[in-house]
């Protein structure tokens, strides 16, 4: 294909931090971005050509976005897959990843069944419609993670259940259709950011993810595991892409067991929090790769530039407050550190407000880098 710049206009359903970073990556390529988001002056608004204010299932807002774009994508699974399919046909417009892929992934039970049917390793699971189903899952698997089938993110909609006394409260907390997944005795959680291009697949180096209370706190690259596990994680991620349709970046979360086996936890059909390290740490960021991929352009290198640690900056755990971040000078003055602020107006408990990265030279002690990233992050305050 022939690529010219200025290039196409990319329409994105969703204008949160991912939409903001996609637009930042698109600008140097000569690609303009229009986002659709229900929040006026959303985080992406300052860096995009325009924002259409509308819900993620608003037909008229989708049509307006489609009328102004050359290609559509999405940065949030709440995007209505049926509407994306409709406007794709109505405006003869490509949507990447495909609406079918979004439909498959947005229901965790459907997602798991598709992977299992394709021979991709996943933890044992079963459908849960009521308390009887959940008790049966406990009998079969022992302790389980009860997951909302739709709408869960950042650990929301996930409830651990260890015995029958917790069944009713867990179902109330999930509040709808669910699935139970056997607890995995994992050594660590990993992720692969995989890119499906027009006729090529590329994967970034495997990241190691550190969660607390089901929320990602840090990602470490390279992951602190064996070469054999890294190779297997990459292999499984490529197998996952074979199940999905359409171009773009996919965040593939994995479990590494104590025996070194790999299984798939969840998939995100978009750039992923665990791939934010790529902005400073890789030759081409996950965001630029997504823009290239959905437009059908050649992909960039996924090679790592340096060891990298990413640490999320979360809202305080106690109460909401205005989003004003203090003591930023400590990060700005730190060698090899970079700060990314998402532009949200309110710092809610454990809400992702930004992230920072710390890069090091080849051979740097990754444990020391992780400690340094945490110290810099924990020195930030909301005022």
Numbered residues of the known binding site for ATP: 108, 147, 181-184, 189, 211, 265-266
| Binding residue positions | 108, 147, 181-184, 189, 211, 265-266
Start-to-end CA span in the chain (Å): 51
Beta strand spans in 45-185 (E): 50-53, 71-74, 94-95, 125-128, 144-148, 158-161, 178-182
Q: How many CB atoms lie within 10 A of CB 354?
A: 22
Hey, is 18 helix, strand or coil?
helix
Residue 20, token pair as written in the block: 């903001």
Dihedral over Cα of 200, 209, 174, 180: its sign: positive
Closest CA to 202 of 161, 233, 234: 234
Bridge partners of 11, per DSSP, are 34, 72
Q: How far is CA 121 from the centre of its chain?
A: 20
Burial class (CB in 10 A: 0-12, 13-18, 19+), 151: middle
């Amino acid at each position: 294909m022939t690529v010219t710049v200025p290039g196409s206009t990319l329409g994105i359903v969703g204008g949160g931090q991912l939409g903001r970073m996609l637009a930042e990556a698109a600008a140097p390529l000569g690609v303009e971005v229009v986002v659709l988001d229900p929040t006026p002056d959303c985080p992406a608004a300052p860096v995009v050509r325009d924002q259409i204010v509308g819900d993620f299932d608003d037909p008229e807002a989708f049509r307006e976005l489609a009328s102004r774009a050359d290609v559509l994508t999405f940065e949030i699974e709440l995007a209505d897959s049926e509407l994306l399919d409709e406007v794709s046909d109505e405006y003869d417009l490509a949507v990447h990843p495909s609406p079918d892929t979004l439909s498959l992934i947005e229901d965790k039970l459907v997602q798991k069944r598709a992977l299992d049917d394709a021979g991709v390793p996943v933890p044992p699971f079963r459908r849960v419609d009521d308390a009887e189903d959940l008790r049966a899952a406990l009998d079969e698997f022992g302790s389980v993670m009860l997951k909302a089938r739709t709408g869960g993110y950042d650990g929301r909609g996930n409830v651990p259940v260890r015995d029958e006394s917790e069944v009713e409260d867990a179902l109330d907390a999930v509040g709808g259709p669910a699935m139970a997944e056997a607890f995995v005795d994992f050594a660590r959680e990993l992720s692969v950011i995989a890119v499906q291009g027009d006729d090529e697949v590329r994967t970034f180096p495997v990241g190691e993810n550190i969660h607390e209370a089901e929320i990602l706190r840090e990602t470490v690259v390279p992951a602190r595991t064996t070469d054999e596990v890294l190779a297997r994680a990459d292999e499984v991620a490529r197998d996952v892409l074979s199940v999905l349709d359409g171009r773009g970046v996919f965040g593939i979360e994995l479990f590494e067991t104590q025996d070194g086996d790999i299984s798939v936890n969840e998939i995100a059909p978009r750039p992923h929090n665990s791939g934010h390290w790529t902005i400073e740490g890789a030759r081409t960021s996950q965001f630029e790769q997504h823009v290239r991929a959905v437009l059908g352009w050649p992909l960039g290198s996924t090679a790592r530039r340096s060891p990298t640690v990413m640490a999320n900056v979360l809202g305080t755990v106690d109460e909401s407050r205005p989003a004003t971040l203090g003591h930023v000078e400590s990060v700005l003055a730190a060698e090899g550190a970079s700060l990314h602020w998402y532009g949200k107006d309110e710092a809610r408990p454990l809400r992702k407000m930004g992230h920072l990265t710390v890069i090091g030279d080849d051979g740097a002690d990754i444990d020391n880098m992780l400690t340094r990233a945490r110290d810099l992050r924990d020195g930030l305050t909301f005022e």
